[in-house]
Structure 1
Amino acid sequence: MEDHQIVPDVISTAPVEIAKITFRGGVNVNLGNELKPIQLKDIPEVFWDADAGSFYALCLIDPDAPSKTEPIYRSWQHWLIVNIPGMDVQSGETLSEYIGSSPGQGTGLHRYVFLIYKQNGKLHFDEKYSNNRCSREDRRSFQITKFAEKYRLGTPVAGNFYLAQWGD
């Protein structure tokens, strides 16, 4: 994550554990591999070394919106689920529905970062719910570090990332 400047652009410390992220068709995220947006349209499966008795928060962000050279909307929120019991992502509380990667034409490679935080128990989140059709204002300029600080999540326990650019 340091080589791709996720540390310090997104978080101050890289998580120790690498989360396993698999999209439909066996497409795996592997610490900065380049994937095509067409491969990323469906919700992925996410695995990490979770404690069955704990709750977790999972987010996917694009810190390069609208481009890495001009990230004026850093970071774009693509997915946010909280109160995940153990590793059962589907049973968590969705605050932002999944939106696949769709970098704009001519904006170059974007980094898409998955971060998983261990919560201090089941929490009440007062964030606005964002569905697939919500306005851009509801998803842009999301600061995961401020979110983690607000809910006392500490540093991420697991993470992974891929790169993607505009495609037909």
Structure 2
Amino acid sequence: MASLRLFAIWALTALSTPVACLPTTEQHVLGAGHDDKLDHVHKVLKKAEIIPTVIDDFMPTLSLSVHWSSKCSASLGNTLKPSKLQAAPSVTLHDPSSSSSLCSQPNMTYTIALTDPDAPSRDDPKWSEVCHWIATGLSALASSTGKCELSMEGDDHDLDEIMEYEPPGPPEKTGKHRYVFLAFAPENGTTDKLHLSKPSDRKHWGYGEVHGEKDGVKDWAKDNGLVPVAANFIYAQHKKQ
């Protein structure tokens, strides 16, 4: 398993201003309250055509922060160098609402996926989508601080990589690719252990154009009974461009 850390922290009160480059997103199945930051995330996802191309329209109810280092983070469409993205990132989920809805279902499992809808290029997405990562096993835990939080690192925890992390590697002369992170929860709200399918191939998420030209994460999520609760993304392109 790739060395990685995943943190899930759900605040009981509204979030303070995030560190530069660390974004904000929200959830859907647990019904958190309205949040302007999450409205902004929704608008950016639509503007970048991630909604509805990559995922069907949804209103985020959690914020999703992704960072490879203190100076290299996803920030809703910033551009990062592929050379900085070689190791699996740390991922943090936040609940910016005051309802602490995640604490009410502490054993629910969350799943992170990374997909490239622009393979080999956005103008010619004949390989779309390409699966870069699926990791599951995130669940909320109540801590002594009064927050729901989870800290996971490496093999010391129950994190399960369904598809090992493959870093972004856009080919030369294919322009900028969108690399989209999505967080999912079980649609039926189960707290049982999830038994998720592993795509048979990274290209088309193993569907082989079953549903159309762009098979990918939303097909896989639907087949596994998952719904999106948060999203973030970056752009990356070949170093010679």
- TM-score over 0.5 for the pair: yes
- Whether the 8 Å contact between 1:85 and 1:92 is mirrored in structure 2 is no
Q: Is the 8 A contact 1:81 1:89 kept in 2?
A: no
Shift of 1:85: 2.7
Pair 1:141-2:214 in alignment = no
SS of 1:19's partner is strand
Residue pairs, 1:78-97, within 5 angstroms: 78-86=132-140, 87-88=150-151, 90=153, 91-97=158-164
> Is residue 2:233 matched to residue 1:161?
yes
My pick for the range that moved more, 29-38 or 79-88, is 79-88
Match of 1:126? 197
Quick one: distance in 1 between partners of 2:131 and 2:123? 18
Q: Could you tell me how far 1:53 is from its partner in structure 2?
A: 2.2
Residues 1:33 and 1:126: Cα distance change in structure 2 (over 3 Å): closer
Identical aligned residues as a percent: 31
* Number of the residue aligned with 1:131: none
Pairing partner for 1:2 from 46, 54, 65 = 46
- How big is the alpha-carbon RMSD for the aligned residues of Structure 1 and Structure 2? 1.9
Which letter does structure 2 place at the counterpart of 1:106?
Answer: K
Deviation at 1:2, TM superposition (A): 0.9
Paired with 1:115 and 1:100, the residues of 2 have a C-alpha distance of 16
SS of 2:226 mapped into structure 1 = coil
For residue 146 of structure 1, give the secondary structure of its aligned residue in structure 2.
helix
How far apart, CA to CA, are the structure 1 residues paired with 2:152 and 2:184?
13
The alignment of Structure 1 onto Structure 2 pairs a total of residues equal to: 159
Distance 1:61 1:144 in 2: 7
Gap regions ≥5 residues in structure 2: 1-44, 96-101, 141-149, 206-215
Residue equivalent to 2:80: 35
CA–CA separation in structure 2 for the residues paired with 1:101 and 1:89: 23
Q: Which residue identity is paired with 1:153? A: L
Unaligned stretches of 5+ in structure 1? 129-136
Deviation of 1:35 after TM superposition, in Å, equals: 0.6
Q: Which has the larger radius of gyration?
A: 2
117 and 32 in structure 1: CA distance in 2 versus 1, 3 angstrom threshold: same
TM-score (norm 1): 0.86
- State the alpha-carbon separation in 2 of the partners of residues 33 and 15 from structure 1: 21
The TM-score, its normalising length taken from structure 2, stands at 0.61
**Letter matched to residue 126 of structure 1:** S
Match of 2:117 among 58, 63, 73: 63
